[in-house]
Amino acid sequence: MNTRGAAIATNDDGPRKAPRSDTRRSAPQAGDILVSERSARADVFAISIVPSDSDVTLTRYSAAIERVQELARGRQVDGWYTSDHTHYARVASYRSQ
């Protein structure tokens, strides 16, 4: 019995995992709202619509996240947070799949 998840047999005699049906994006796409730390200062957060430059700058993390969630809900897109523009965390999900 396979305890690692669903697997399917292929013609090359090796089992392979079935593709996940709930695959989600792990980075923002055009139109999504992004909040990011503008600099090494931990108290400056920039909010922008991907791929343009920032429109709003806030000085508290909680205020920045609330604003991203509000903008994402109004535009029916996803909201993201990043501190390094390499790793992203989804903080709002309103885009239809």
- The whole-angstrom distance between residue 49's C-alpha and the CA centroid of its chain comes to 13
- CA gap 58, 38 in Å, rounded: 10
**Residue 66 confidence (pLDDT):** 94
Asked if 64 and 35 count as a contact pair (C-beta separation under 8 A), the reply is yes
What is the tens place of the pLDDT at every residue in 29-74? 999 999 988 666 667 888 888 888 777 888 888 999 999 999 999 9
Residue 23 is predicted with a pLDDT of 52
- The two tokens of residue 1 are 């019995």
Its pTM stands at 0.68
Burial of 31-63, coded b for 16+ CB within 10 Å and e otherwise, reads: ebbbbbbeeeeeeebbbbbeeeeeeeebeeeee
